[in-house]
Amino acid sequence: MARNNDGIIESALADVAPHAARRTHAAGASFAQRPHQPRVITAIIQIFTAWVDAVIFVFSLENEISYKTVSTYFNKMSHYRNSAEIPLILVGTQDAISESSPRVVDDNRARKLTNELRRCSYYETCATYGLNVERVFQDVHTYLYINNN
């Protein structure tokens, strides 16, 4: 792998690009749980943070690891760019909370995380029924439209 930053980033992207589409998921937890080279992850976060206009952090209400992963990625992102410049939305999602798959992250913990993430907006969604999914994207679109005009 090259030693200069451009070389590291190019090498990191070359290593990850063939697999990125199937390894990255909205919840972020599945990406975080896979064993990757730390420099590759760092390079990807650096590139992402430089060009991003908004961030939607998504975690599963049924998965503690995905919830904790949001803070990890927020902290890494904040290392490379002032998070006050980026609109953030936190989304807790669920498919089918039941006795066999109970809710692990309660509303109070999710709202506490919004304070840690600079008081970002918080939504709970259900992709199965479409609950609040469109609203999340409409709010991001509205924010970007207002701030870019």
The CB-based long-range contact list for 40-46 (8 Å cut-off, 24+ gap) reads 40/12, 40/15, 40/16, 42/12, 42/76, 43/8, 43/9, 43/12, 43/13, 44/12, 44/13, 44/16, 45/73, 45/76, 45/77, 45/80, 46/9, 46/80
pTM: 0.69
Residue-number span of the structural domain to which 82 is assigned: 5-148
Question: What pLDDT does 63 receive?
Answer: 92
Number of domains forming the structure of the chain: 1
Tell me the pLDDT tens digit for each residue of 87-141. 899 999 988 766 777 889 999 999 999 998 887 899 999 878 889 999 999 999 9
CB 43 within 8 A of CB 19: no
Query: Quick one: how many helices (H) and strands (E) in the chain?
Result: 6, 3
Tell me the pLDDT tens digit for each residue of 18-50. 444 333 344 444 444 455 567 887 888 888 888
Question: What pLDDT does 100 receive?
Answer: 75
Please report, for the domain that includes residue 82, its CATH number: 3.40.50.300
